Homo-oligomer: A and B are copies of this chain.
Amino acid sequence: MDLWFTESDMKTYGLVFKIKKTLYVGKSKYQTVAVFETVDMGRLLVLDGLVMSCEYDEFAYHEMIAHVPLYTHPSPENVLIIGGGDGGTVREVVKHDIVKSVDLVEIDEEVIKVTKEYLPILGSAFDSPKLNIHIGDGIEYVKDTDKRYDVIIVDGSDPVGPAVGLFSESFYRDCYERLKEDGIMVAQTETPYDVNLRVHVPQIYKNIRKVFPDTRMYIANVACYPSGMWSFAFATKKYDPIKDFQGVRYEKDGFKLKYYNDQIHKACFILPNFVRDFIDG
């Protein structure tokens, strides 16, 4: 029997994965959570029919959303992660000795539970002593908290369903307010290349740019996302990702990473013309 997974929002173009086994399907308060065993790309975490992470290439997304801001800020001691319930971003952030505390605000407790049980590669850092997990709405959290952060990482799902508010101007404004005066926000900002999904991207950048004085896009290649090109917004009050790259710390840490390196840190900000025109046009 051949079982193929296709994303629920696939209109005219997209990826399909051959599946060996359905490991888990459950309905949480917010969404349908599923884990599939693919034939040769490891396990796939799927929320409401959309691929969140695939064991084969999750390192690309998670290394790039974490290390680009953390190797730009000279002392990222306090980090806030909004979303990120699959644990991949936490895993990369807690690697940094300089990071003293990480707050993770995930709306859906089920995602954490399912990841812990079925995706240990992703969930390996949930027991870090630096980590505080808050189950709740990230939008409410940044509105209400008194804490101030060096780095905020917005690792939400797509701008449909529970995560739609994570792409609004008011949310980005609250993030701005919760950052220290030299803080950096990085947010996943969908794909600028997929013919159907790219429609969201220009408005996301307009929203962030109304709030932050300097916002740039950087990109990473993620095989399990349609078109293979994924983008992130680097929104900063002060530090420049190129000029302020923390090369000495990067060398000293010497992490064994699969995607990110010191040259990628700079090259990822170089955009093909059509992408630049798409967000700036």
Contact = CB atoms under 8 A, between A and B. Distances in A.
Contact of A15 (B14, B39, B41, B60): B14
Copies in the complex: 2
Q: Which of A6, A260, A261 has the largest count of B CB atoms less than 10 A from its CB?
A: A261
A251 to B, nearest CB: 15
A118 interface: no
A47 B257 CA distance: 38
A267 interface: yes
Interface string A247-268: 0000000000111110110110
Q: Which of A6, A60, A196, A223 has the largest count of B CB atoms less than 10 A from its CB?
A: A223
Question: By DSSP majority rule, is chain A's interface helix, strand, loop, or mixed?
Answer: loop
Q: Which of A11, A226, A267 has the largest count of B CB atoms less than 10 A from its CB?
A: A267
Contacts of A257: 273
A181 B18 CA distance: 48
A263 B269 CA distance: 10
Given A15-B14, A16-B16, A18-B13, A258 B273 contact: yes
Interface of A: 6, 10-18, 38-41, 56-57, 59-60, 193-196, 219, 221-223, 226-229, 257-261, 263-264, 266-267, 270, 272-274
